[in-house]
Amino acid sequence: MLRVGYPATLSKDWFRDFPEGIELIPVSDKMVHDVEIDVWIPDPYSTRAIRAWPRLRGVKLVLSMMAGTEWIPGTVGPHVTICNAHGAHNVSTAEWTVSAILAMLKYFPLYLDIQRSGVWKRRFEASKLCAELHGDTREMYPPVLGEELTGKTILLIGYGAIGKEIERMLKPFQVEVLRLARRARTEPEVHAVSDLDILLPKADVVVLILPATAESRGLIGTHQLALMRQGALLVNAARGPVVDTDALVEALRAGKVRAALDVTDPEPLPDGHPLWSCPNLLITPHVGASTPEFTPRALRTAADELRRYLTGEPLKNVVQEAT
């Protein structure tokens, strides 16, 4: 019988469709005794999972419920196979990304502030904002009170499953999509990361949806922000450390760019951090994948991997092979 540890925060009802031949063992960071398991499905909150790890014995396979697994290798070591939940968060994260782009182009943060103030005439602040962002001081009538996504150029930095889903959702807006990943590919054209500086000045919207690695840390810094178009939008749906936070704060305060962030560095963002008060910035507290569909979709992915593991088939979403 394969012993499978699962987050004690989840009801056992979620595991009704898991394969036969397993014993489900609840795992908590509050455990006071060691637990012997073969497979571990960690708590989605990494801090709780890391606290639970010292009590686990015999783990050979980790099935993460998340797409990002950057904390797991350093916790469990090289002798454990690790699989991520590839594909489980495509829809939710892509929807957040498209929503964030539209919210910023339609000036929703400004209009929410206007709503709370109860002053209708403040709507004309949108015209001033647009002029400042793009350096276009021409008087227009009717006044500019928002921007359009249709026809914009979008640079996707990272072109895995979520990047492809973002592109699919953006297609009705007739945008031009530029794609960048670690290696160049064709059909569709994907540029290598070495082309980043060439592509940044061409984009109205830059979307970060790449994994957190040593190479991606600080990928967007002072130099890259300076290369972006005046008033361009930076959207980070990846990981906070991909962006140099100090450089972003400086660029936002200077009015060079605007940004929408679901992730920050540091995270959680502490009280009083400069990002909280930056202009032209939308922050959500790492909620992009947190929908009612998250748990069942992630667990279906884990259940499929377990069936493969039990029958000796190759696992699909391996990010680390045990040594």
The residue annotated as part of the active site, out of 95, 125, 132, 267, is 267
57 Rama sector, left if φ>0, alpha if ψ -120 to 50, beta otherwise: beta
Question: For 85-99, what is the mean pLDDT?
Answer: 95
pLDDT at 15: 94
- pLDDT tens per residue across span 142-160: 889 999 999 999 999 999 9
For 291-307, write each residue's pLDDT tens digit.
Answer: 999 999 999 999 999 99
pLDDT at position 120 is 96
SS3 content of the chain, % helix, strand, coil (to 5): 40, 20, 45
Query: 267 an active-site residue?
Result: yes
The one catalytic residue in 122, 286, 307, 308 is: 286
Is-catalytic flag, 147? no
Which of 86, 89, 191, 239 does the annotation list as catalytic? Answer: 239
pLDDT digits (tens, 9 = 90+) for 30-84: 999 999 999 999 999 999 999 999 999 999 999 999 988 999 999 999 999 999 9
pLDDT at 142: 84
Looking at the chain, which residues constitute the CATH 3.40.50.720 domain(s)?
A: 2-88+291-320, 89-283
2-88+291-320, CATH topology level: Rossmann fold (3.40.50)
Confidence tier at 136 by pLDDT (50, 70, 90): confident
Q: Please provide the DSSP assignment of 278-301 as one string.
A: -SSEEE--S-TT-STTHHHHHHHH
CATH number given to 89-283? 3.40.50.720
pLDDT at 141 over 80: no
Mean of pLDDT values over 198-220: 95
Residue 116 predicted with pLDDT over 80: yes
Residue 89 falls in the annotated catalytic set? no
Query: For residue 103, is pLDDT > 80?
Result: yes
